[in-house]
Amino acid sequence: MIGQLAGRSLLHLLDFTPQEIEGLLDLAARVKKERIDGRRPQRFQGMTLAMIFEKRSTRTRCAFETAFGEEGGHPVFLSTSDIQLGGKETVEDTARVLGRMFDGIQFRGFSQRTVEILAEYSGKPVFNGLTDDFHPTQALADIMTLREAFGTTAGRTLTYIGDGRNNVAASLIIICAKLGIECRIISPGELQPPADLLDTVRSFAAAGTHVSSDPADAAGSDAVYTDVWVSMGEESQQQQRTALLQPYQVNASLMQLAGPDCIFLHCLPAVVGQEVTKEVFEGSTSRIWDQAENRKHTIKAVMLATMADPE
């Protein structure tokens, strides 16, 4: 399946089959082992990657730059203050220019439509490093971490608690539906996933997607996942969100309810003391640092599968 991904873009995971996603996860595990063993194949040698950032980043930027650079490629960081994207130049025209100069494009920003236009007009693989709608590279790293913790993912239960209509929740819903993982979204009614996304995934889901407003529904989970209560660009809603989401904090009591073998996941950055207590964040059930590292390995796998020869 990996061989069929050459030239493909990763805009979201709806376009990828379960077999393709599993293939990417297998490849990510392989490249992670290569790095642990000290091997550095130069599979991106002579290649270039444009990295467009409208939003700040730690893990996404570092993962793309190191994954591409340590294999001989040349990543070029481009903030919106460096280029004319959507300013004096349309996104379509920027895509045409970058497509003639680079082998691939990464975009992290606001509008999903921007990453779609880049893919449509550049003629090169485009990778969604985060938009307001989706965060597919994060979801791949999340499920890689789940795999490492339990050996397999089919039949597992992942519970996301907090803001259920953000990009992380949306991508988790999709990847869980594709891979046969039961996905529970626990959120206040105002912040539950959009109905059209739920209808879409339920049309192909290999396992159930359940939405609830009751934190007690985390019982019997293999993983409990949360994210910040206020996403980038929504800072003005800090006070309102804090009051709304306080009952959805991940704390020791919730983890105990979830089950004795349940792990804790967070995409980071975290506001410790809000969505998660320090006890859980720093505790023995936490797999957040594995999760953060796995951003690099899953991103490298995606770029190898679409831009180079993974062998």
Catalytic residue among 12, 108, 266, 287: 108
Check the annotation: does 17 bind a ligand: no
148 and 72 inside one domain: no
247 and 101 inside one domain: no
Residues 107-122: what's their mean pLDDT?
97
* 311: in domain: no
pLDDT tens string 136-177: 999 999 999 999 999 999 899 999 999 999 999 999 999 999
126 and 150 inside one domain: no
What pTM value is reported for the model? 0.96
Structure tokens at 181: 């993982």
- Predicted confidence at residue 154, as pLDDT, reads 86
- Predicted confidence at residue 83, as pLDDT, reads 83
Contact by Cβ (8 Å): 55, 79: no
Q: Please state, as a whole number, how many other Cβ atoms lie within 10 Å of the Cβ of residue 89.
A: 14
Domains: count for the chain = 2
Whole-number Å distance between alpha carbons of 136 and 236: 26
Catalytic residue flag (residue 295): yes
188 and 65 inside one domain: no
Catalytic residue flag (residue 138): yes
* 214: in domain: yes
- Predicted confidence at residue 88, as pLDDT, reads 83
125 and 261 inside one domain: no
pLDDT tens string 53-76: 999 999 999 999 999 999 999 999
182 and 287 inside one domain: yes
Check the annotation: does 287 bind a ligand: no
Catalytic residue among 43, 103, 133, 138: 138
Check the annotation: does 138 bind a ligand: yes
- Predicted confidence at residue 9, as pLDDT, reads 98
Element (H, E) at 161: strand 157-161
255 and 301 inside one domain: no
- Residue 191's nearest CA partner among 233, 236, 243 is 243
46 and 154 inside one domain: no
Q: Please state, as a whole number, how many other Cβ atoms lie within 10 Å of the Cβ of residue 277.
A: 18
Contact by Cβ (8 Å): 107, 49: no
Check the annotation: does 74 bind a ligand: no
CATH number at residue 105: 3.40.50.1370
Catalytic residue flag (residue 176): no
Catalytic residue flag (residue 135): yes
Catalytic residue among 227, 266, 274, 291: 227
Catalytic residue flag (residue 100): no
Catalytic residue among 176, 183, 262, 267: 267
Check the annotation: does 137 bind a ligand: yes
Check the annotation: does 152 bind a ligand: no
Catalytic residue among 12, 135, 156, 241: 135
- Dihedrals phi, psi of 10, to nearest 5 degrees: -115, 95
Residues 227-251: what's their mean pLDDT?
90
Residue with the larger pLDDT of the pair 249 and 231: 249
Domain carrying residue 98: 2-134+295-306
DSSP letter (8 states) at residue 260: T
141 and 249 inside one domain: yes
146 and 271 inside one domain: yes
119 and 146 inside one domain: no
**Which of helix, strand or coil describes residue 4?**
helix
- Predicted confidence at residue 63, as pLDDT, reads 98
